[in-house]
Amino acid sequence: MSLRIRKIGRIGQITLMRPEALNAVSHEMVRGIAEALEAWRDDARVACVLIDAEGTKAFSAGGDLQFMHATASNGDFDAGRSFWRDEYRLNAMIATYPKPYVALCQGFVMGGGVGISLHGSHRVLGETSKIAMPECAIGLVPDVGGTLLLARAPGHMGEYLGLTGHRMNAADAIYAGFADFLVPQSRWPDLVRALVEDGDVSAISVMAETPEDVTLPAMRDEVDRCFGKDSLEDTLDLLPDNDWGAATARSIQAGSPLSAACTFELVRRARASNDIHAALVQEYRFTSRSASEGDFIEGIRAAIIDKDKSPRWQHGSVAEVEPDVVEAMLTEPPEGDITF
């Protein structure tokens, strides 16, 4: 079983149990988590929810991409769309859950792993945590409500993080608003015991430490200057002729130009709405088309299936992605927008 779901003391505990797959989130896992949260919503014995994961490398490195590639490659686009609808409804449920939702996130936390953890009320990281939204590299866009997290980051840091897939340590993730607390992982067993005993989440702040190795603020002025423009083309033109500018350009240009152009627009739309449901609706408009009309199948092939790291994107550069193409990817899909 890929999940362990149990009530213990005052908590409802959900543990991801696919460490051999870096706890990639499957459709089955999405359904299991949603069922547990529904059951615990009105259960007076459950004072708070705790989600954690087995293994040391990752809380969850993302969604089940091999399943998505296998179904879409065979022309079955509905399987992916069904997965995304259920996943996004779970993300919204977590973001609006009426009880404290505590996430303990070690190692990699990316993509779908972000969606089941970092919308919670109490987001706890450790010294091994590495947070990123690297979806442009595989022909997708930051989703699972990630565009809203990016939009709420200081200044235009969200555009930078979403377009480059920059990996944040715990200190940077807290600065960017993706997490709340840094608790040394050696103290996590004590924290779990305290939560089990009385369900009082104030134990988290008692054990938390002030993060010191924050790096993003030093980039803030340059990020705002470059990524605060009206178009991604302008941003690329403004990147400075130094190591940071060159690395940033390489990261953006390595990903799907279509995904990059749409990500730039999606973060702007999420910032304007500042609403989890609106952000998920916009993200679904892209992801529902990502395999049938976008670069998703090719991105997964190059990164995970064949591992040749040489994707053949539809567009040669961001400049080749016309505004009407972006608009077409972000309009209501034929089957209708996702509902909650």
Averaged pLDDT, 183-192: 98
Q: Is the pLDDT of residue 65 over 90?
A: no
Averaged pLDDT, 33-43: 98
Q: How many CA atoms lie within 13 A of 288 on its CB side?
A: 23
Geometric angle at alpha carbon 209, from 271 and 114, rounded to 5°: 40
Question: Looking at residue 201, what DSSP letter applies?
Answer: T
Please say whether the beta carbons of 29 and 117 come within 8 A. Answer: no
Residue 140: the pLDDT is 97
In sequence order, the β-bridge partners of residue 6 are: 13
Please say whether the beta carbons of 92 and 277 come within 8 A. Answer: yes
Residue 183: the pLDDT is 98
What is the rounded distance in angstroms from the CA atom of residue 252 to the CA atom of residue 148?
A: 20
Q: Is the pLDDT of residue 222 over 80?
A: yes
Give the domain 3-132+170-207 fold.
Answer: 2-enoyl-CoA Hydratase; Chain A, domain 1 (3.90.226)
Q: Is the pLDDT of residue 238 over 80?
A: yes
If residue 183 lies in a helix (H) or strand (E), which one and from where to where? none
107 CB burial (10 A radius; 0-12, 13-18, 19+): buried
Residue 270: the pLDDT is 98
Per-residue confidence band for 237, with pLDDT thresholds at 50, 70 and 90:
very high
Tell me the percentage of the chain whose pLDDT exceeds 90. 96
- The model's pLDDT over 195-206, given as tens digits with 9 standing for 90+, comes to 999 999 999 999
Per-residue confidence band for 274, with pLDDT thresholds at 50, 70 and 90:
very high
Q: How many CA atoms lie within 13 A of 99 on its CB side?
A: 24
Averaged pLDDT, 237-259: 97
Per-residue confidence band for 97, with pLDDT thresholds at 50, 70 and 90:
very high
Q: Is the pLDDT of residue 67 over 70?
A: yes
Please say whether the beta carbons of 181 and 102 come within 8 A. Answer: no
What is the rounded distance in angstroms from the CA atom of residue 198 to the CA atom of residue 9?
A: 7
Q: Is the pLDDT of residue 43 over 90?
A: yes
- The model's pLDDT over 5-34, given as tens digits with 9 standing for 90+, comes to 999 999 999 999 999 999 999 999 999 999
Residue 205: the pLDDT is 97
* AA identity, residue 301: R
CA dihedral of 19, 25, 30, 31, whole degrees rounded to 10 = -60
Instruction: Mention every residue, 6+ apart, whose C-beta is less than 8 A from residue 205.
Output: 181
What is the rounded distance in angstroms from the CA atom of residue 236 to the CA atom of residue 337?
A: 32
CA atoms 25, 156, 295, 57: torsion sign:
negative
pTM for the whole structure? 0.97
Q: Is the pLDDT of residue 1 over 80?
A: no
Residue 264: the pLDDT is 98
Averaged pLDDT, 43-53: 98
Instruction: Mention every residue, 6+ apart, whose C-beta is less than 8 A from residue 104.
Output: 50, 51, 52, 53, 59, 124, 126, 188, 191, 192
Residue found under tokens 């969604």: 63
Strands (E), 117-238: 122-125, 130-132, 181-182
244 CB burial (10 A radius; 0-12, 13-18, 19+): middle
Domain locations in the chain?
Answer: 3-132+170-207
Residue 69: the pLDDT is 87
Residue 33: the pLDDT is 98
Q: Is the pLDDT of residue 49 over 90?
A: yes
